[in-house]
Structure 1
Amino acid sequence: MRLRFIFGEVFNGLRRNTTMALSVVLVTFVSLMFVGAAALTQMQIDQLKDDWYGKVEISIFLCPESSRNEQCAEGSVTVAQEEDIRAVLEDGALQDLVQKVYYESRDEAYEKFVANDDQGIWSSLTPEQMQPSFRVKLADPEKYQVVADATEGLPGVDVVRDQREIFSELFRFLNAATIIAAALAAVMLVAAMLLITTTIRLSALSRRRETQIMRMVGSSRSLIQMPFMLEGAVAATAGALLAIGGLFFGVRYMIDDWLKSSVTWVQYIGTSDVWNVAPWLLVIAVGLAAVASLVTLGRYTRA
């Protein structure tokens, strides 16, 4: 009997305040879309880092014929210096950090450069002007600084470059986008909570006579407040479900059907990641409704 009464009151309250309830649904939908988008963006960034950082290499460029680097004052790297550098990488203290070492000669560097120079802009270059190099694949990419510090001062080494630098600006931009989305989500969540509070307040005021009668006949405080709390929870949950649906279709059609076929060299998040985020969005929605109810009902339905 109590459940029938409570659900009846919830239905009547939503029907009486349809406009406000729809406003709660829409604001919750938009705010949780931002929350979900920020979470998925961060998941995509983490996936890119795991994928790309696992493939990056350290490039140890050896001294060319002419260089401004003091370590190359004696001219081009010698065969003995190349052997010493390889020994440090493969047999020295770095051997546990290095997975594989590739050597690229001047001729190989020249052939690769010419193959990528479609316009023929640098056709005047000769193999003698190119730099030989070691490409070092690390067992643990996070230890790149150890390898860089150990090789930068070796005779015959011109410069040591970590390919992670190529992606740092991209990840900095993506992290900034995540922060902006999270900040917008926070603002929208505050707006959603205020709107839920207003909706519950209006519902409580419109049924003040009924709640007074219930207090007079001895109804418990929880029985009086429960319909109002459920009204906010239902509206917020509806907004969360819409946000989950929006994120699912966004990932499904924009990423699975478009990006994955257009840009094939990137590992993308998928719809399964949306389902991982979905429970948290529902928890946030119910939490918003609960906080708004506690703030409002203590004043307007005091027993």
Structure 2
Amino acid sequence: MRLQFILSEIGIGLRRNLSMTISVILVTFVSLTFVGAASLLQMQVSKLKDDWYGKVEVTVLLCPTGSSKVQCASGEATPEQVSDLEALIASPELAPEIQEVWFETKEQAFESFQEYFSGQDWAEAIRVEDMQASFRIKLVNPENYQVVSDVLTGRPGVESVEDQRKIFDSLFLVLNRASVLAVGLAAVMLLAAVLLITTTIRLSALSRRRETGIMRLVGASNLFIQLPFMLEGALAAALGAVLAVGGLWLGVKYLVTDWLAGEVSWVPLVGVGEVWTIAPLLLAVAIVLAAISSLVTLNRYTKV
């Protein structure tokens, strides 16, 4: 009987404030979509870092002819200098940091260059003599690039030490800032959702002051009186969370998995599995929103 009464009260409240309830659902949907998008974006950044940082190399460019660097004053790197560098790379100081190392001659660098830029008119003017020999080093931990750089930079025969991670740093910076922007927009929308839920509960409580007064007189507990209002807000917020999960699932399924993954198959992308991973989080956020709104409102507006 009590459950039936509570359900009937929830139905009455939702019908009386239908427009406000729909507004709560929509605002919660939009705000949690931003929260979910920010979470998925961070997951994507983590995937890219794990994949790309594991593949990047440290490139030790050897001195070419005509370099302006002090350590290249004697001209192109000599075989003796190359041998000294090989010994230094194999030394106990650097060996523990290095997973793999190979030497690329000017001829090999030219072949790679022609492979990547074949068909380009400007590439036809490049000759073998214009290329640089180099050591390609794959690190055990790419984060320890500075250790290798400090040891090799400035050595005779070394023009520069390049970390390929710099290529991706700008991309990750843009993605992280986009994630921060999404979180900021989500925070504004979540605040709007809290205010809307509070207003909806308040209007519902005011429209039923007579009923709540009678319930108070016959000895109903605070929880029994307030529970229908709390469930109204929780139901509206939960529906918004379900819509947000559905929207994110559709977006990832059709835009990422079905379309983007086919265009850029070499990039690890988030999938629908990640959407289901964050779904409980979004539902929990919705319930917390409803709980906060209820606590702020009910103690004041259900008093007789």
Contact 1:201 1:300 (8 Å CA) reproduced: yes
Alignment of 1:121-270 (within 5 A): 121-270=122-271
For residues 34 and 19 of structure 2, the distance between their equivalents in structure 1, rounded to whole angstroms, comes to 23
For residues 123 and 259 of structure 1, the distance between their equivalents in structure 2, rounded to whole angstroms, comes to 34
- What residue in structure 1 maps to residue 45 of structure 2? 45
Q: Does the residue aligned with 1:123 lie in a helix, a strand or coil?
A: helix
For residues 45 and 115 of structure 2, the distance between their equivalents in structure 1, rounded to whole angstroms, comes to 32
For residues 126 and 177 of structure 1, the distance between their equivalents in structure 2, rounded to whole angstroms, comes to 42
Deviation of the 1:5 alpha carbon: 1.3
Q: Does the residue aligned with 1:131 lie in a helix, a strand or coil?
A: coil
Deviation of the 1:124 alpha carbon: 3.2
Deviation of the 1:125 alpha carbon: 3.0
Comparing 85-94 with 263-272, which one deviates more in the overlay?
85-94
Aligned residue pairs: how many?
A: 303
Gaps spanning 5+ residues in structure 1: where? none
Deviation of the 1:62 alpha carbon: 0.2
Contact 1:21 1:199 (8 Å CA) reproduced: yes
TM-score (norm 2): 0.97
For residues 127 and 36 of structure 2, the distance between their equivalents in structure 1, rounded to whole angstroms, comes to 53
- The one-letter code of the counterpart of 2:127 is T
- Post-superposition Cα deviations, 1:207-230, rounded to whole Å, max 9, x if no partner, equal 000001111111111111000000
- The one-letter code of the counterpart of 2:182 is A
For residues 24 and 251 of structure 1, the distance between their equivalents in structure 2, rounded to whole angstroms, comes to 25
For residues 130 and 260 of structure 1, the distance between their equivalents in structure 2, rounded to whole angstroms, comes to 35
Alignment of 1:5-154 (within 5 A): 5-117=5-117, 118-154=119-155
Q: Does the residue aligned with 2:77 lie in a helix, a strand or coil?
A: coil
Identity of aligned residues (%): 56
- Post-superposition Cα deviations, 1:133-177, rounded to whole Å, max 9, x if no partner, equal 001001111111111111112211000100001011111111111
For residues 181 and 244 of structure 1, the distance between their equivalents in structure 2, rounded to whole angstroms, comes to 16
TM-score (norm 1): 0.98
- The one-letter code of the counterpart of 1:253 is Y
Contact 1:221 1:302 (8 Å CA) reproduced: no
For residues 129 and 250 of structure 1, the distance between their equivalents in structure 2, rounded to whole angstroms, comes to 48
Gaps spanning 5+ residues in structure 2: where? none
Contact 2:34 2:183 (8 Å CA) reproduced: yes
Contact 2:154 2:160 (8 Å CA) reproduced: no
Deviation above 3 Å: which 4+ runs of structure 1? Answer: none
